[in-house]
Amino acid sequence: MEQFDVLIVGAGHGGAQAAVALRQRKFTGTIAVIGEEPEIPYERPPLSKEYFSGEKSFERILIRPASFWEEREVRMLTGRKVVSVDPEARQVTTADGATYGYGSLIWAAGGHARRLTCGGGDFVGVHSVRSRADADRMLSELETTTEVAVIGGGYIGLESAAVLAKFGKKVTVLEAQERVLARVAGVALSRFYEKEHRDHGVDVRLGVTVECIEGTDGRASGVRLASGEIVPAQMVIVGIGIIPAVEPLLAAGADGGNGVAVDEHGRTTLPNIFAIGDCAFHANAFADGLPIRLESVQNANDMATTVARFITGDPEPYNSVPWFWSNQYDLRLQTVGLSAGHDQEVLRGDPATRSFSIVYLKAGRVVALDCVNATKDYVQGKALVLAGAAIAPEQLADADTPLKALLGTTPAA
């Protein structure tokens, strides 16, 4: 059995950054990363953006080139899936029956795309967008596709829709809620993106329920809605969230459910086992200390660094401000903070100019911003979120006043 001082499960954003941060912090022990996918760590966001659109090759989305891992003596054990963890023996077992021992285990396994459970959900032509293999499968079918149905109006669904619309495909977005991005953004942003997609020829359907996938010989030909209507589609993209990949940890006795529970240092309830990234359920200061899972590169990277600090004897609790981005058409959305639970939205600028921000307030304090083609607001707004600044909505709405000028001001009584 091979033995490593630190064994990382999951060769994605969090896993890669954990190894990088350990070496940056002069950790000299042995490190291995076990990854289910055949590739060394690559960036996932481009799968629905620049990689999918052909603007970036796979080599350009690698987190680090292969030589980087070799030089730093980080063993990449790719194409191997961990199926069980034995916390007492401090070892994991992979699907091929091999066992690996560890001093510390960092679980960075992310999640698997949630699949449709309705009829036809496994037909050829039905896709998730989680891995390079998923994106390559979609790309290989593009030539024979004229109509695409995107199930789920979240970021991944909308980004894919934008790329496909640019490719000239007839795209229909099917969203169960009454607005797109309902889980992550306020109403004004949802309405803006719905209009943008419609202006680009995408048919955005809201409040619709998918009944099943239609098809012949196991190949998709459309999506049947509860109304009985069939939306024709040779390609169906399913963007309905992820299921955290934590079964082996929960089976080993770790606390959790929707992910695995960790404390402010990324420690699970099992000894010497940490968890980071999409699969880690943690109390987040920007969610009023409530336990949440965040699905973002920022969170994966910063949690990785938190764990590397702990392992190298320089602990610092996880307390990073959440941020995120999304590219659709020529729009770059940058989000800082968490808008969930806000009670007020303030618009800065005019959405018709396609450069504006939305400031979210909770009990009079700035908790988040969504900035569309407005990087300055994003950068300066971060300080307001960090400070939990209480600023009068009229001041925030005045796009001629830079946000940094508002820090330290107090709202009018």
| Cα-to-chain-centroid distance, residue 356 | 23
In the complex, least distance from residue 255 CB atom to ligand FAD, rounded to whole angstroms:
18
d(C-alpha 32, C-alpha 25), whole Å: 16
- Identify which of residues 196 and 214 has a Cβ nearer to ligand FAD in the complex: 196
Q: Is 200 in the site for ligand FAD (CB under 6 A)?
A: no
In the complex, least distance from residue 281 CB atom to ligand FAD, rounded to whole angstroms:
12
d(C-alpha 234, C-alpha 320), whole Å: 42
x-or-dash pattern for ligand FAD, window 60-79, by CB under 6 A? --------------------
In the complex, least distance from residue 298 CB atom to ligand FAD, rounded to whole angstroms:
6
Site for ligand FAD in 26-45 (CB under 6 A): 34-37, 44-45
Q: Is 154 in the site for ligand FAD (CB under 6 A)?
A: no
Q: Of 398, 396, 394, which Cα lies nearest the Cα of 381?
A: 396
Strands 31-35 and 74-78: parallel
Site for ligand FAD in 89-108 (CB under 6 A): 108
CA dihedral sign of residues 32, 37, 39, 45: negative
| Phi, psi angle pair for 89, to nearest 5° | -80, -10
x-or-dash pattern for ligand FAD, window 326-345, by CB under 6 A? x-------------------
CA 145-207-325 angle, to 5 degrees, is 70
Token representation of residue 181: 């991005």
Which element (helix H / strand E) includes 68? helix 66-71
Could you count the other beta carbons within 10 Å of the beta carbon of residue 258? 13
The residue at minimum Cβ distance from ligand FAD is: 12
In the complex, least distance from residue 132 CB atom to ligand FAD, rounded to whole angstroms:
9
In the complex, least distance from residue 220 CB atom to ligand FAD, rounded to whole angstroms:
20
- Identify which of residues 214 and 295 has a Cβ nearer to ligand FAD in the complex: 295
- Could you tell me if 384 and 391 are in contact, meaning their C-beta atoms sit under 8 angstroms apart? yes
Which residue, chain included where needed, has tokens 């960092």?
A: 106
Q: Is 13 in the site for ligand FAD (CB under 6 A)?
A: yes
- Could you tell me if 260 and 107 are in contact, meaning their C-beta atoms sit under 8 angstroms apart? yes
Could you count the other beta carbons within 10 Å of the beta carbon of residue 411? 15
- Identify which of residues 130 and 309 has a Cβ nearer to ligand FAD in the complex: 130
- Identify which of residues 79 and 315 has a Cβ nearer to ligand FAD in the complex: 79
- Identify which of residues 9 and 210 has a Cβ nearer to ligand FAD in the complex: 9
Q: Which residues bind ligand FAD (CB under 6 A)?
A: 9-15, 34-37, 44-45, 47-48, 81-82, 108-110, 129-130, 156, 245, 277-278, 295-298, 300, 324-326
